Amino acid sequence: MVGEIIGGNKISGWMFDLGNTLIRVPECKCEEGAKKMYRYLVKRLWVPPNLPELWLNKRKECYERAETDHREYPAAQVLKELLHELGIHAPHEVITGALDKFFELEERSYTILPDVDEVLSKLQGPKVLVTNATYSPLIRRLVERFEFTQYFRDIIISADVGVRKPHPYIFELALNKLGLPPDEVAMVGDTWQHDIKGAINVGVIPIYVGDEEHHLPNVIHIRKLMELLKL
């Protein structure tokens, strides 16, 4: 219920991570996706045969940088820059079409985790989805497919805001959407570095979902999402 005392804290609102908290993230099909993207592009533009390799290397480089500086490097921006480096101008719709092809196989493989609908429907108080992702259209399609819009006041995607968890700004945006002070909001997520430490840094109540042990004080640890209803 709204205002319920959990772990000594009054919870009036919620932030939820998406991947591996509400939906299962499939194994990356990056090489196959890069080949599909290449086949799409080569029908519309001149692109070199090694574009799949160049794309995967560029994507990996940006991900590693993002893990350090906590900025987000949107996939559309990264692909546009890569093509520009090759002397290729691609219209926005071609960039989007290419990325849809890249993520197509992965997108089909996402599945909802057990008990998610029951928990989200019974857990009262406003909720905001806060997720790290480089391609917003993919996330919005997944949210529609799993009918999450009925539960969440808003969806905050790192590719749209320029930073990724654990950067404080993305949590501050979520707090603004909720209209609540941080000590009345819980962040539910499955990663220590992004979700839990990010929540702690802004004073939000951290709830870790998963099997990994920890030694951080004042972190609520649950194994299954359903346990939120029993706290």
Give the integer Cα–Cα distance in Å for 147 and 9. 30
Average pLDDT over residues 221-227: 94
Q: What is the pLDDT of residue 6?
A: 52
Which residue spans of the chain are classified as CATH 1.10.472?
A: 30-108
Which residue spans of the chain are classified as CATH 3.40.50.1000?
A: 4-25+112-229
By C-alpha distance, which of 206, 215, 226, 223 is closest to 7? 206
Please give the model's pTM, rounded to 2 decimal places: 0.93
Average pLDDT over the chain reads 94
Instruction: Estimate the crossing angle of helix 30-42 against helix 92-108, to 10 degrees.
Output: 150
Q: What is the pLDDT of residue 207?
A: 96
Contact 102, 37 (CB under 8 A): yes
pLDDT higher than 50, residue 28: yes
84 HSE (CA, 13 A, CB side): 8
Give the architecture-level CATH label for domain 30-108: Orthogonal Bundle (1.10)
Give the integer Cα–Cα distance in Å for 148 and 152. 7
Q: What is the pLDDT of residue 9?
A: 65
Q: How confident is the model at residue 118 (pLDDT cuts 50, 70, 90)?
A: very high
- Let me know if domain 4-25+112-229 sits in CATH 3.40.50.1000: yes
- Note the pLDDT tens digit of each residue in 146-188: 999 999 999 999 999 999 999 999 999 999 999 999 999 999 9
Q: In the chain, what percentage of residues exceed pLDDT 90?
A: 90
